[in-house]
Amino acid sequence: MATLNPYFNFNGNAEEVFDFYKSVFGGEYQMVMRYKDAPPEHQMGETDGEKIMHMALPIGQQSILMGSDWPAAYGKPIEGTNVSLSISADSKEEADKLFNGLSAGGQVTMPIENTFWGSYFGMLKDKFGFNWMVGYDVDPQK
C-alpha cells in the first residue's frame, strides 16, 4: 500500500526546520544531502552549496518527512500555507506531546480536545507557518 510522505520546499532554512521537527518527533535523519554534494553537472552554483538539496526524517514506521531548500535561481518558494499534515497518535499522551511540541512558538487554531466524532483532536500552525492536525482515535469504532 502507498504511504503519504509530505515534501516541503524552504527558502534557505530547511535544516533549521528539520532540526525543530526532529526535536519533536525524535529519530535520526535518513538522508541529508547538500547541493554541493551533487555531481558537478547537477550543482546549482556556489551560493546554494551549503543549502539542503534533500533531507528525510522518518516519523513512525511508515512515514517520512522530506524537504529541501529552493535553489536561488528558481526564486522564492511560497511557503506551506496551503498544506496540512495529519498525525495520528497512539495515545492521548503522545497526542499531547506532539501537539505541544509542534505548537511551541506557533498558533493553536483549534485546541486539542475530545470531539463529537470520537477523536481527541486539535489543529495548529507551527512557528514556520505549516498547518498540522493532531489526533488520537479515542473510540476507533465511531
Say how far apart CA 72 and CA 76 lie, in whole Å: 7
**Segments forming the whole domain that contains residue 102:** 84-137
Residue 77 covered by a domain: no
Residue ending a domain, among 71, 96, 112, is: 71
Q: Based on the domain organization, do 16 and 65 belong to the same domain?
A: yes
pLDDT for position 117: 85
Long-range contacts of range 32-41, CB-CB < 8 Å, 24 or more positions apart?
35/69, 35/71
User: C-alpha grid cell for residue 122?
Assistant: 486539535
Average pLDDT, the chain: 86
Tally the domains of the chain.
2
pLDDT for position 112: 98
pLDDT for position 81: 54
Domain of 122, CATH number, reads 3.10.180.10
pLDDT for position 1: 37
Residue ending a domain, among 71, 95, 126, is: 71
Q: Based on the domain organization, do 21 and 51 belong to the same domain?
A: yes
pTM of structure: 0.73
Q: Which of 135, 90, 141 is nearest to 114 (CA)?
A: 135
Residue 61 covered by a domain: yes
Longest dimension (CA), the chain: 56
Give the residue ranges of the chain where pLDDT is below 50.
Answer: 1, 142
Say how far apart CA 133 and CA 139 lie, in whole Å: 18
Long-range contacts of range 85-91, CB-CB < 8 Å, 24 or more positions apart?
85/6, 85/130, 85/131, 85/132, 85/133, 86/132, 86/133, 86/135, 87/59, 87/132, 87/133, 87/134, 87/135, 88/135, 88/136, 88/137, 89/134, 89/135, 89/136, 90/136, 91/136
